[in-house]
Structure 1
Amino acid sequence: MGLMSSQTEEQETFENHDRKKKGFWLRIKRNFYPFLLILSSFIVILTITLMLLTKAQWFRYWVSGLIFTVVNNELQEGAKFEFKDIQFSYLLGIKLKDVSVTYKGDTIIYSKDLFAGIKISPLFRSKIVVNEITLGSPKINFYKSLSDSLWIIDKIIKPSTDTTSEPSEW
């Protein structure tokens, strides 16, 4: 009888351990699946919202105005950046149609298409980081001025501020 009771005790211990294992995985499954369902629903709703938003004319006008302001603020007086239409490439960037940069009426750069690859994460910090620019069918007219011997690009783009830091005192 002693042998029989030790076997049943071992079997009960094994069953209790097996129930605890199943209970642990069942609790994880019960808590993880709703979280996964909520997260995937949020991603689907966000994607659909972005798709609808980028098709809305008012949003395209707003982004166009933002691009005009940002780019033209980086150009010298007399230089002008223009484009006809904007398209969005989801999670990749922005495509501009019929892009031109003019300086005092002279077209310096014209491109049928301009694709700007934009990093997504800096947008959440109100920063725009362009990591790629591709020109489709470009016509570029760079020349050196005879009067002041400056390249036209020096007259178009504002000079950047010096961002070099002081040398270390080590």
Structure 2
Amino acid sequence: MKKRIILVCLFMSLADIYGQDYQKSNVVSEGQQAPNFTIKLEKGKTINLASLKGKVVLLNFFATWCGPCMVEMPILQQEVWTKYKENKNFALMSFGRGHSAEEVNLFRDKKKFDFPIYADKDKSVYNLFATQYIPRNYLIDKNGIIVYTSIGYSPEEFEKMKEKINELLKN
């Protein structure tokens, strides 16, 4: 019995440390202004987050080697992008953390995703939001405020994010 109690206490301590570690990995939090960034697109064009003010923006960070990311990406395509891609008040930006433009383009083509996926080879965009852990999602309201964040993937958390998107687009 003592061994079980000790094991339970140890497990709870590790879970608490792990949870704190997740929290420490946040650079920005809900309620804060989303940091602006500019990314280079093909043919010398650029896009920055500030230019999307007035839209609900979902930022997604992933890597092609990340198992939970590979579970989340098809669901992101099917349940978010397919539903909102025609909505002029919505934007989705997915970033391949640590990946080059060539890598994300090959990945997008292989997986047949048609939502915007951008390279973040040097993690310069990612580092404005977090220090570690993927997948990550940041939902930004029309005023540029972060209103939802998630780390990792779970069906329950993804449902919460979809509900928040629906709520924001109704206003």
Choose between structure 1 and 2: higher strand proportion: 1
Fold agreement, TM-score > 0.5: no
Which TM-score applies when normalising by structure 2?
0.30
Q: Whose RCO is larger (CA < 8 A, sep 6+)?
A: 2
TM-score, reference length from structure 1: 0.30
